[in-house]
Amino acid sequence: MSNKKPILIISAEPFSIFSELLFKTYKKYKLKKPLVILGSYKLLKKQMKFLNYNIQINNIEENFDIKKLKLNKINLINIDFNFSKPFEKISNKSNSYNEESFQLALNLMKKNIFSGLINGPISKRHFLKDRFLGVTEYFAKKTNTQNFAMLIYSKSLSVSPLTTHIPLKKISKLISKNKIINHVKLIKKFYKKNFNKNPKIAITGLNPHCESFIKDNEEKKIIIPAIKYLNKKNFSKISGPYPADSIFMRNNIKKFDVVIGMYHDQVLTPIKSIYGFEAINITLGLPFIRITPDHGPNDQMKGKNKSNPASLISAIKFLENQ
């Protein structure tokens, strides 16, 4: 373990599966660093009782003493929240609670006392509404980060969409040579810093089979020039464009560390199908490491005690090595 800094976790949407995953993590995984949780004390206690778990809570204040954190307890900074039942329907009721949690997390991360930040899931429809495309964009805006990227990371293969939560009809207007170049630079910096590695990166095309009947298609006009520029600037191990329908075949993915796709589902669908809960979502470019487990609030599964904590445990393991 490289240092003893604790890990900060926003429990986020109160009526999601996240509390269950947190309880299971404490039961199934032997933590190497203490976790500091931002959430409602009363709600956690109610949900713990409802789901039949018994984990001690160590109540702490915002200006806590790191020496008083407990490895095997939930170190909790309380965020007040009014509720009736342990699990209710997700609604705007939790918006101010989530806003307070995320803002406190941002303030705490400025103190440089944490290995990184993990956030639980939120409801984009309720919490973000039309203000942000996703939590990645939320954090970028709140930290005044212009150049950022979403990396869905696993040890075997990672993927990164050039555009995130964008309707398909808008994608072609939002990809550019500079965007691809900056995206590659962020990924290379991340791999160099964390693994001392120059990653092998594959870049997909936008159109089926990387071709189009349009004379100035995106492959010829944007993607190929970006790859040529990167190679001229000694950004070795960058290649493409590859057809998205074949790059994820078993023999192909063995050759690469990262696949950069032009849009969200082009790369997230195959990575989730291949690696399931191994993958974690890391935001590159922020002033701190931010990770979210690769799942949403999962309204259908909340309160059933059947959810898999593997992605949360993977996120914690990653930060334990920071």
Residues 183 and 308 in one domain: no
Residue among 246, 311, 304, 281 nearest 149 (CA):
281
Distance, CA of 279 to CA of 152 (rounded, Å): 6
- On whether both 7 and 134 belong to a single domain, the answer is yes
Rg (CA), the chain: 20
Write down the pLDDT at residue 299. 54
Same-domain check for residues 131 and 238? no
Question: Is the separation of the CB atoms in 105 and 276 below 8 Å?
Answer: no
Report the run of H or E that residue 188 belongs to, with start and end. helix 177-195
Residues 6 or more apart in contact with residue 275 via CB below 8 angstroms:
154, 156, 157
Q: Of 159, 157, 155, whose CA–CA distance to 255 is shortest?
A: 157
Look at residue 254 in the predicted model and tell me its pLDDT: 92
Q: Are residues 16 and 139 in the same domain?
A: yes
**CB burial readout 8-24, b (16+ within 10 A) else e:** bbbbbbbbbbbbbbbbb
What is the number of domains present in the chain? 2
pLDDT for residue 89: 86
Q: What is the mean pLDDT of each run of 10 residues along the chain (322 residues)?
A: 80 90 94 96 95 96 94 96 89 91 96 95 80 86 94 93 91 95 95 93 93 80 95 86 93 94 94 82 95 67 73 93 86
- C-beta of residue 302 within 8 angstroms of C-beta of residue 14: no
Same domain, 221 and 305: no
Q: How far apart are CA 231 and CA 227, in angstroms?
A: 6
Based on the domain organization, do 87 and 140 belong to the same domain? Answer: yes
What is the DSSP code string of 158-176?
Answer: EEEESS-S--GGGHHHH--
Q: What is the pTM of this model?
A: 0.90
304 and 185 housed in the same domain:
no
pLDDT of residue 303: 64
Torsion of CA 53, 154, 266, 251, to 10 degrees: -130
Q: Verify that 125 and 85 share a domain, yes or no.
A: yes
Same domain? 78 vs 115 = yes
The pLDDT value recorded for residue 40 is 96
Q: What is residue 2's predicted lDDT score, i.e. its pLDDT?
A: 42
Tell me the residue range of the domain where 67 lies.
Answer: 1-145+286-322
CATH of the domain at 185: 3.40.718.10
In this structure, are 298 and 262 located in the same domain? no
Same domain, 223 and 252: yes
- Same domain assignment for residues 307 and 214: no
